[in-house]
Chain A
């Protein structure tokens, strides 16, 4: 993969095209070649950015500069200014968006609930409630009206892509499994949702289990599978219970088992529980685990569609992918394809967590911007604080700073921005978050979850973690940043599975976008966000201190001294930075330095 220092997104909204967007694209291409920048700057087309009436417009990342009202003649000037001289071509820059208040009062982007449509609306423990919402109608339609090929064709036309993270076209996966020659095929639902901060699948499994079961039966019919497994994390006991109940009810109603709905199609399903291993979310590791072995990934090819569970052709999709299928059949592939962007169709569920007002699950069409997700749907940052970064894609994703907020969300754009779609977890961080601490935190996770098979991942993540721990402890030294960068690159290129390949992302992205924070920790021994305990000091302001002694009495290590009615002092060598003194002080005399 090629690395670009900048990305230029040109809006090809119909209105912008009318106003000359294609000429802009050509001019950019020519000028970048002429200046020898074509390997450094990537030009991409995107949907609408700003108001098309002010188009054609384009967005330059990572700076997030929005240029408007362009003509092809302006491009040579902008390229020279922006990419050669490194300064903004001010006269084309769009005026700053109005303050946050006006954004909040803007019409709320409505969520579109396809996968979550029944969540919180039906009793998940009663199959009749699902049937009342047209449940199993798609299955009946498929079994009575369609050949397996027609089913795959419908999924193909819908443009559905795997919701587990990689975004592989679902229909393609299905036809591979359908075309596999070995008999006795299997189908698996990956419900091992292990990404911290991602809980979309849990909600679907707990609240609408039959939508997944129905989707799996349809997939089984399409590829000709005899048996299916739902591999669910043991951390989700309620989901496991609800699923088991759903399967029992479906079986007793003749929707699973022999001769489903009176046809000659037979298929049955069971739930397999994980036992707490993150790597089992990886499909080959997951299959090893179902077979009762250590959940270690194996090299691909052979792909599961050819040689999967017990060496048989196997189709693996994620919970959300299957849950979309009945709706595609019922409402038609064209309906589904009408939502989203050119390459990413339909909707996506995201889990919002962290410092956002409305934590929880959302479902939005692809192409929505991160800003709309955080501010319109998510209600903005908690407690009126400022936005610092958004981490998308789970522990192997990247942290994106504010200048990426207008990025339209789909599989491709997030990848280009240095993060990933992942399964859909989004952690929003406010301006009091230390990005070095966050990077350390994610490394702790991947280091712990590395299965140990590939040395670069096993040892490399440990080395990175050691360095980050040292930096957070105020013992960072010259060369640390460079060593980190080198390790990241090594691990990425030499690991077998997605875990190792993605593990350095949080470090790489924070190094790229928040390098100054690393530098402050290492060279100035300062944590700008005042989070890293070894790099902060509590101080009492002699002016504000009344000598009431309450801090000294509450200090667990008697680090505070001073006489009554005289200003007190904290001894930094004894102080353990617990912050109790600051909490108990009635005069706001204590602050963090």
Chain B
């Protein structure tokens, strides 16, 4: 990363970052975001993450980006993941154990149907 030397530089970096987001949203790729703060990890987010990555590998899924974020402040619902399909609104799931993650992968990520049972407000 090159140093930011002025306000104009900073604005340019911001535009680039926003552009990257737009490209991501328009690419039709599916984003899966896993909350990996301490609370998420304590509630089992590592197993959740592993289940997601395993499913992608096992079923040779493509067009999926898995990223992480910190905590949401919704501890009672950890582990939490979010799924964004293209430019559709973000869906937040709570209490996503490894098993639930596999279900979400199958029904939502591949099948395109939101798994209502685990949807939470965020």
Contacts and interface: CB of A to CB of B under 8 A. Distances in A.
Interface of A: 116, 119-125, 127-129, 131-132, 134-137, 140-141, 144, 199, 202-203, 206-208, 236, 238-239, 242, 249, 252-255, 261-262, 357-363
Contacts of A134: 14
A132 B17 CA distance: 5
B21 A132 contact: yes
Interface stretch (B48-56, B68-76, B95-103, B108-116): B68-76
Contacts of B72: 119-120, 360
A208 B73 CA distance: 12
A63 to B, nearest CB: 33
Interface in B60-89: 67-77, 80
Nearest to A209: B70
Nearest to A124: B70
Contacts of A208: 70
Given A119-B73, A123-B67, A203-B71, A254 B38 contact: no
Among B6, B18, B70, B72, chain A packs the most CB atoms within 10 A around the CB of B70
Contacts of B69: 120-124, 207
Contacts of A358: 74, 76
A366 B21 CA distance: 35
Contacts of A121: 69
B75 A202 contact: no
A358 B73 CA distance: 10
A101 B18 CA distance: 44
Nearest to B92: A120
A220 B15 CA distance: 27
Contacts of B38: 202, 206, 236, 238-239
Per DSSP, are chain A's interface residues mostly helix, strand or loop, or mixed? mixed
Interface string B3-36: 1111101100110111011000000000000010
Contacts, number: 110
A242 B76 CA distance: 23
Contact of A361 (B3, B6, B73, B80): B73
Contacts of A125: 68
A254 B1 CA distance: 10
Contacts of A242: 70
Given A255-B4, A361-B74, 9 more contacts: A120-B35, A123-B67, A206-B70, A206-B71, A236-B38, A261-B10, A262-B5, A359-B75, A361-B71
Nearest to A238: B38
19 contacts: A120-B69, A120-B72, A120-B74, A121-B69, A122-B69, A123-B68, A132-B14, A137-B10, A137-B14, A202-B71, A206-B70, A207-B69, A238-B38, A239-B38, A254-B3, A254-B5, A261-B5, A261-B9, A358-B74
B116 to A, nearest CB: 19
Contacts of B17: 128-129, 131-132
A252 B7 CA distance: 16
A142 to B, nearest CB: 11
Contacts of B74: 120, 358, 360-361
